[in-house]
C-alpha cells in the first residue's frame, strides 16, 4: 500500500516538471497528469499559474484539495471540482481570479483541517512562507491522513530600520 501512495505524487510531479515551463494551458497539463494516474488509486490535485503583469491567477483543482487567497484581511476560497485525478471523466475547468497587489496564497490537501484561527498567531503572516506553512501543518494536520501545504506570498519589501 505505501508504495502506491508514494508512487502517485511522484508520477504527477514527473508530468508537472515536464510541462511547468511550457506554453500548455493548465487544463492540458492537468489532463496529462490525469492520464498518467489512470492506473493508480488516483489523487486530489490543483495547479495555479500566476500572471503578475496582468494581476491574474489561473487555477484548476480536482478532489479534496483546498486553496485560499488572503488579502486585506479577507479570505477568498477558490473552487475545486468534485472528482479524482486519474479516475473517471471529470470536467476540468480552469478558473481565473484577479490578484490583489499583495496577497498570501494557501493550497493544501484534505489532510489539514480547514478551520484555521490565524488570529492565534500574531505576526505569523509577516513571516516567510515556509514558516507559515510549517506552523499551519504542525497545528492543523489530521493525524490519520497525509498532508501537504503550500504558501506563496506577494508582499512589499520591508522598508523599516535595518
Find cell 477558490 and name the residue. 78
Best CA proximity match to 63, nearest among 28, 40, 39, 87: 87
Report whether pLDDT(5) > 50. no
Q: Decide: 44 and 62 in contact? Cβ < 8 Å.
A: yes
**Cα–Cα distance between 84 and 62 in angstroms, integer?**
6
C-alpha to C-alpha distances, 13 to 8, 36, 79, 85, 129, nearest whole angstrom: 9, 10, 22, 13, 21
Report whether pLDDT(97) > 80. yes
Give the pLDDT band of residue 20 (cuts 50, 70, 90).
Answer: confident
Q: Can you give the pLDDT at residue 2?
A: 34
H or E stretch including 9?
helix 2-19
Is 105 in a helix, a strand, or coil? strand
Is 114 in a helix, a strand, or coil? coil
Q: Can you give the pLDDT at residue 9?
A: 62
Best CA proximity match to 24, nearest among 36, 34, 16: 16
Q: Which CATH architecture is the domain 42-154 placed in?
A: 4-Layer Sandwich (3.60)
Report whether pLDDT(70) > 80. yes
Chain centre to alpha carbon of residue 1: 25
Q: Can you give the pLDDT at residue 106?
A: 96
Is 145 in a helix, a strand, or coil? coil
Q: Can you give the pLDDT at residue 8?
A: 52
Contacts of 54 (CB under 8 A, 6+ apart): none
Q: Can you give the pLDDT at residue 103?
A: 95
Report whether pLDDT(100) > 50. yes
Amino acid at each position: 500500500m505505501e508504495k502506491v501512495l508514494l508512487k502517485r505524487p511522484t508520477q504527477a510531479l514527473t508530468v508537472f516538471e515536464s510541462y511547468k515551463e511550457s506554453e500548455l494551458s493548465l487544463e492540458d497539463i492537468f489532463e496529462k497528469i490525469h492520464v498518467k494516474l489512470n492506473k493508480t488509486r488516483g489523487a486530489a490535485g490543483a495547479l495555479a499559474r500566476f500572471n503578475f503583469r496582468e494581476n491574474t491567477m489561473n487555477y484548476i483543482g480536482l478532489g479534496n484539495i483546498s486553496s485560499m487567497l488572503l488579502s486585506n484581511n479577507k479570505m477568498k476560497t477558490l473552487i475545486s471540482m468534485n472528482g479524482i485525478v486519474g479516475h473517471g471523466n471529470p470536467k476540468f475547468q480552469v478558473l481565473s481570479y484577479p490578484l490583489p497587489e499583495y496577497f498570501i496564497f494557501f493550497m493544501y490537501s484534505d489532510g489539514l483541517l480547514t478551520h484555521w484561527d490565524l488570529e492565534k498567531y500574531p505576526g505569523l503572516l509577516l513571516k516567510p512562507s515556509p514558516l507559515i506553512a510549517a506552523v499551519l501543518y504542525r497545528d492543523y494536520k489530521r493525524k490519520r491522513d497525509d498532508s501537504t501545504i503550500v504558501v506563496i506570498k506577494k508582499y512589499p519589501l520591508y522598508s523599516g530600520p535595518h
